[in-house]
A and B are shown apart, each in its own frame.
Chain A
Amino acid sequence: MAGEGMAFFSFAWWEIFLGGISTLAVFSFLYRENPFYRFFEHLYIGIATGWGIIAAVRNFLWPRVFKPLLGADLMVFPDGSLSQPYNQAYLLFLLPMSFGLLYYAILSKRHSWLAQLVIGFELGYAGGLAFKGTFIELLPQLFDSFRPLYVPGSAAESLANIVFVLTLTSSMVYFFFTFKRTPGGIVSRCSGVGRWMMMGCFGAFFGSTIMARMALLVERLDFLIHQWAALFY
């Protein structure tokens, strides 16, 4: 029991107490939308925003940009000498930083078009990066999809591969609109099989999602019953 041996009104006590209040506030939505829920919903957004900003600074801006730029990663020995000379190339970070400041031009009606430059740059970056990202993700899956339909000595594996290839091709045919579909034709029948297979896939996804949400719910209920309620007895 969490309540046992826990100093009354200690930090740990408050953590559990507030955690329980927060959980109940969110669950109060099950009755209906209410001010208690709305207040904690906004509080969550505020805390998550602050947390996200500091996480960006902690994990990226400080260690990879500001620390080397300010020379904070260099060590000054007691005699005043440096562990290694300052790399002036880090000053080049000032260029993207200045360029990124153009985002704030959006706040001015007259100069808002300048923000389009930096937004355009980021879109272009995402577009250029998409080539690599798409092919790195796509190609291994594509290669893996060409499976042998007959595996000597293993009927189970052969059946699995046949189902795999049949599901993949029929599901792809479902989205294939180049040929005209005539009712009862091969494309139409194949597309129908693809729809069944995809329904199976969606059912599996649905089942996984339900179980994931249920796991979270069970964890919350376990917390409320065994930790939060234990504070009071």
Chain B
Amino acid sequence: MGGKASLAALGGVGFLRTHYRQIITAGITFIGGFYFFLEFILPAQIGEFKFGKYHDQISTGVMVVGAMAIGLGIINILRIHGSAILKTSRGWMNSLALLGGMFIMLAVAGSDLINSEKSVSSWKYLANLQTFPGKVLEDFQTKSIPAAERIEALGRFVGQTLDQIAANQGPLRRPSGADKAGVEFSVLNADLLQAGAHALLLAQEYRAAAPDLARIAALSRELSASLKSAASAAQKVATANYENAVVRRVQRLLENGFFFPLGAAMFSLLAFYIATAAYRSFRVRSLEALIMMIAAVVVMLGQIPHGPLYVWDKLPAMRLWLLQNLSTPAFRAVYFGAAIAGLAMSVRMWLSLERSPLSTGDDK
């Protein structure tokens, strides 16, 4: 008797736990859509309050939640195909190809991403640096912040960049090959040397007992101009180096050797099967089949720009008329129904009336 009571009590606790979990899940599901629902129905501004002020940040935040599932996909692939390889079960070589392809692409495209970021930041840094002399001058005049050390730091940075270039290191190294980037490399060197010289003169002027503000302003402008010109040349040099890097070429090899041709061939393969489907569909056995065949033939022949199958110059206009006045409204009729059904389904999911996506064995 006591045992039965204990079992019943445990069952009751289990039911309550499942029930509360369902309530929490339904609540979070509702919260997930509530902001976007309000954002749609409420006006953009209510009195002083601007409702969509942080819309981009909130949207990004919600997308981040979904993006976290990327790792889950990798884990699942590893579990399925990893176990196939370890057990050497049937088709394990295919699993090896899948995992090998994925990891090689991850490594190569990941390295390419890092290289791309380094390349862009190298010239963007120089481009942004052109505002620095003006900022130093402004701080010197308005806040009396000592300027000489700051300009000397800029001069040191320019010197370090030149040292790196001389050592043929980093994204701004001399591009290989005698292309246009080689000329830009010489311009970059000259601009950086000029910027270094201007920085030296500017620092000396700031250190003077009675700094000449007009000369400082002129030197600041010249320094900014040198940095701007250097940034423009650096962009071309860094881009050339990035495009010619081994990682970039391997990435292109994977894309042009496997990814794009395999994708295009997979889709073009359907052309053969669609031809047999066309044969079956176009056998005129009813009025509907006849209408379908005429429409398809007009659209296909109307899309041919020239050649032996270019049979009549009115066909392109007929094709367009058919697409605009027959295909569009018929598809629109289907779409209206599907959109309303989709909206109804979305509301059911949002309000947790549609539980199938979240159902587990516990729900029953």
Which of B165-173, B184-192, B212-220, B336-344 forms part of the interface with chain A?
Answer: B336-344
Q: Report yes or no: B327 in contact with A205, Cβ–Cβ below 8 A.
A: yes
Contact in complex: B296, A204 (CB < 8 Å) = yes
- A214 and B39 in contact (CB under 8 A), knowing A11-B252, A126-B349, A164-B329? no
A211 touches B326 (CB 8 A): no
Q: Which of B102, B110, B261, B346 contacts A220 (CB 8 A)?
A: B261
Cα of A26 to Cα of B270 in the assembled complex, Å = 11
Q: Scoring A residues 201 to 222 as 1 if CB is less than 8 Å from chain B, else 0, what string do you get?
A: 1111111111101101101100
CB pair B295–A200 under 8 Å, yes or no, is yes
Contact A47 B258, beta carbon cutoff 8 Å: yes
DSSP class of B's interface residues: helix, strand, loop or mixed?
helix
Which residue of chain A lies nearest to B277 when distances are taken between CB atoms in the complex?
A: A206
Q: Would B93 and A113 count as touching, CB distance under 8 A?
A: no
Q: Interface on chain A toward B: helix, strand, loop, or mixed SS?
A: helix
- The residues of A that contact B95 with a CB separation of less than 8 Å are 42
In the complex, A29 has a CB within 8 A of chain B: yes
Q: Does A45 contact B (CB under 8 A)?
A: yes
Residues of A within 8 A of B74 (CB): 53
Q: Is A225 an interface residue (CB 8 A)?
A: no
How many residues of A are in contact with the other chain, CB < 8 A?
Answer: 121
- CB atoms of B268 and A11 under 8 A apart: no
Residues facing B in A147-202 (CB within 8 A) are: 160, 163-165, 167-169, 171-172, 174-175, 194-202
* Structural contact, B324 and A160, CB atoms closer than 8 A: yes
The answer to whether A209 and B274 have CB atoms under 8 Å apart is: yes
Interface residues of A in 54-102 (CB under 8 A from B): 54, 56-58, 60-62, 64-65, 75, 77-81, 83, 89, 92-93, 95-97, 99-101
Interface string of B312-353 (1 = CB under 8 A from A): 000000000111111111111111110110110011111110
Query: B200 at the A/B interface (Cβ < 8 Å)?
Result: no
Within 8 Å of chain A (Cβ to Cβ): is B209?
A: no
Contact of A124 among B30, B69, B289 (CB under 8 A): B30
B14 interface residue (CB < 8 Å to A): no
Known: A42-B97, A45-B98, A219-B268. A120 touches B37 (CB 8 A): no
Q: Which residues from B are CB-within-8-Å of A175?
A: 333-334, 337
* B3 part of interface (Cβ distance < 8 Å): no
Are A123 and B262 in contact (CB-based, < 8 A)? no
B residues adjacent to A (C-beta < 8 A): 21, 24-26, 28-37, 39-41, 57, 60-75, 77, 91, 93-95, 97-106, 109-110, 113, 116-117, 125, 128-129, 131-132, 135, 149-150, 153-154, 156-157, 249-250, 252-272, 274-275, 278, 281, 287-289, 291-300, 303, 321-337, 339-340, 342-343, 346-352, 357-358, 360, 362
Other CB < 8 Å A-B pairs besides A39-B93, A99-B65, A125-B32, 14 of them? Answer: A40-B97, A48-B263, A50-B103, A56-B67, A77-B135, A78-B157, A92-B57, A126-B349, A167-B329, A172-B333, A174-B333, A200-B292, A203-B295, A207-B300
- Offer 11 A-B interface pairs, CB within 8 angstroms, sorted by A: A11-B250, A16-B256, A19-B261, A42-B98, A61-B64, A78-B157, A122-B66, A138-B336, A164-B328, A207-B298, A216-B271
User: Chain A: residues with CB nearer than 8 A to chain B?
Assistant: 11, 14-20, 22-23, 25-27, 29-30, 38-51, 53-54, 56-58, 60-62, 64-65, 75, 77-81, 83, 89, 92-93, 95-97, 99-101, 103-104, 106-107, 112-113, 116-132, 134-135, 137-138, 141-142, 145, 160, 163-165, 167-169, 171-172, 174-175, 194-211, 213-214, 216-217, 219-220, 223
